[in-house]
Amino acid sequence: PNPKARPPPPPPSETDHRGAAHRNHRTAAIAAPSPKLDPNKFQILRSSRDLCWLLILEIVKMSTGPGLEPLVDQMISVITNDGRNIVGILKGFDQATNIILDESHERVFSTKEGVQQIVLGLYIIRGDNISIIGELDEDLDAHIDLSQLRGHPLKPVIH
């Protein structure tokens, strides 16, 4: 065998949509089928890096799958480009990812006092101002005492 010859291409299941082979576990994980997010699975993650990759899996799944359709009439959390956290029930969206939230409120974080919740009601967020959208586990969220939770506000996204 020729030592300089390239190895045969990997089977299709080990290549991405452009045909590039995955050379490490991180890129292979992105191409793997995405598991349903389950709070119990977070216990087995070794580090915050693992959590980031799990979230990337979900983002890739949503960008290639049915999009926001499964989240309609579900409680979601939206992080905007200016660092705001808005929680509400997703009522609709369009091709530009403009979204309509009902029963929404903004959660304002502070290091000095607990989380403030500002009622917004029916609210529209432009798609170009959305950084990330995630499904909110209402049972888990109900058990969090936001008045005791403190944290730094998110900084704006810089392009």
pLDDT at 7 over 70: no
pLDDT at 83 over 60: yes
Dist. CA 132–CA 134, nearest whole Å: 7
Q: Which of 75, 146, 91 is nearest to 123 (CA)?
A: 91
| Greater model confidence, 21 or 121 | 121
pLDDT at 11 over 80: no
- Tens of pLDDT, residue by residue over 16-61, are 444 444 443 333 333 333 445 455 444 444 556 666 666 666 666 5
The arithmetic mean of pLDDT across residues 104-126, rounded, is 94
Dist. CA 57–CA 50, nearest whole Å: 11
- Tens of pLDDT, residue by residue over 125-150, are 999 999 999 999 999 999 989 999 89
Pairs from 105-113 (Cβ < 8 Å, separation ≥ 24): 107/146, 108/153, 109/85, 109/149, 109/150, 109/151, 109/152, 109/153, 109/154, 110/150, 110/151, 110/153, 111/150, 111/151, 111/152, 112/150, 113/150
94 and 47 in a common domain = no
45 and 95 in a common domain = no
Does 3 fall in a domain?
Answer: no
> Which residues, other chains included, contact 48 with Cβ-Cβ below 8 Å and sequence gap of 6+?
none
pLDDT at 113 over 50: yes
141 and 82 in a common domain = yes
Dist. CA 65–CA 14, nearest whole Å: 19
Which range is least confidently modeled, 19-28, 41-50, 71-80, 85-94?
19-28
Provide, rounded to the nearest whole percent, the portion of the chain with pLDDT above 70: 58
109 and 54 in a common domain = no
What pLDDT, on a 0 to 100 scale, did the predictor assign at position 2? 61
Domain count, the chain: 2
What pLDDT, on a 0 to 100 scale, did the predictor assign at position 88? 96
Domain of 75 in residue numbering reads as: 68-159
Give residue 29's Cα distance to chain centre. Answer: 16
Does 96 fall in a domain?
Answer: yes
Residue type, 2: N
> How high is the mean pLDDT of the chain?
75
